[in-house]
A and B are shown apart, each in its own frame.
Chain A
Amino acid sequence: MNRVQKIALFFVVTISVAFLLSCIAIAILYVKVGMPKALAGLGFMGIAGLGGFSPLIFQTEKGKVTLDERDRLINRRAALAGFGTSYLLVGLACMIPFFILGPKASISVSWLPYIFGAVGLNLFFVHSVAILIQYGRGDKNGEK
C-alpha cells in the first residue's frame, strides 16, 4: 500500500466514523430533546477534520519514487468522480426542495452551511474511495 492509498484510507475511515457517530448522536438527541437541538450531534463531524492531518502522518520517503504518471492519472480520475458526485449532490439539494415544497415556498438560509459541508465531505469521501478502488483493481501479480 503506497502513501496515496494510506491517505485515502485514512480519509474514508475518519469520514465514515464521523458520519456514523453523528447519526447515532442525532438519533439519541432527537429522542431526548427533539429538533432542532438534536442537530448538535453534527459536532461529531469534526472528527472528519482529522483527515486533514493525513499528509503529515504519512510522510514521503526521501530518495524513493512515490508518485508517477499512473498515480497522477488515478488521482485525476478520482477527483473527477468526486467533483461529479458533488455536482450531483448540489443539484439534488437544489431540486428536491423545489419539487417537494413548490416554487413559491422558501427555506431557511441555515441549510446552506449544511449543504456546503455535506458537499465538501462527499468530495473527499468519493475521491478517496475512487483512489482505493482504482489501486485495488490493478495491484495484483506483484513480486516480493
Chain B
Amino acid sequence: MEKNDLSNQIRRLRFDNGQMTQQQLADKAGVTRQTIIAIESGKYAPSLPLAFKIARTFGLSIEDVFQYENEQS
C-alpha cells in the first residue's frame, strides 16, 4: 500500500519573512485565508500553480516550501 504525504514550511517562512500574516500571504497568492490555513495544517494539497505562487511569494523554489514523502509498505 502507498502512503503520500505533503508537508510544508509555510508557517516558518511566514515568520522568517517579517511575521507575515496568513491574510497577507493569501492576498499575495490570490487565495482566501482559509485556504492558507488548510495548506499550512496539511489538510489541503495545493495545485501546482498555487504551490508555485506561494513559493515565489517567499522568493524560493517549490522544494524549499513543500516536501513530498512517498512511503510504500
Q: Is A138 an interface residue when CB atoms closer than 8 A count as contact?
A: yes
User: Does the CB pair B34–A2 fall under 8 Å?
Assistant: yes
Distance in angstroms from B6 CB to nearest chain A CB is 14
Stretch from B37-45, B54-62, B63-71 forming part of the interface with A:
B37-45
Does A103 reach chain B (CB closer than 8 Å)?
Answer: no
CB A90 to nearest CB in B, in angstroms, measures 33
Bound complex: CA A2 to CA B26 (Å): 14
CB contact under 8 A between A70 and B35, given known A65-B26, A143-B21, A143-B22: yes
Contact of B43 among A65, A67, A69, A138 (CB under 8 A): A138
Task: Tell me how many residues of A have a C-beta within 8 Å of chain B.
Answer: 16
| Cα–Cα distance between A10 and B22 once the two chains are bound (Å) | 28
Using CB atoms and an 8 Å cutoff, list the residues of chain B in contact with chain A: 21-22, 26-27, 30-35, 37-38, 40-41, 43-44, 46-47, 50
Contacts A69-B46, A69-B50, A70-B44; is A140 near B37 (CB within 8 Å)?
yes
Interface of A is mostly: loop
Quote the shortest CB–CB distance from A30 to chain B (angstroms). Answer: 46
- The chain B residue sitting closest to A142, CB to CB, is B37
6 shortest interchain CB distances as A-B pairs: A68-B31, A138-B38, A70-B35, A138-B43, A141-B41, A142-B37
Q: Which residue of B lies closest to A144 (CB)?
A: B21
Give Cα A135–Cα B37 distance, bound, in whole angstroms. 11
Q: Which residues of A contact B38 (CB under 8 A)?
A: 70, 138-139
Report the separation of the CA atoms of residues A42 and B26 in the bound assembly, to the nearest whole angstrom: 46
Shortest C-beta distance, A62 to chain B (Å), equals: 14
Instruction: Identify the closest chain B residue to A68 (Cβ).
Output: B31
Nearest-neighbor residue (CB-CB) of B31 within chain A:
A68
Interface string of A55-74 (1 = CB under 8 A from B): 00000000001111111000
B44/A138 in contact, CB under 8 A:
yes
Residue contact B32 to A71, C-beta cutoff 8 Å: yes
Residues of chain A contacted by B22 (CB below 8 angstroms): 142-143
CB distance from A27 to the nearest CB of B (A): 41
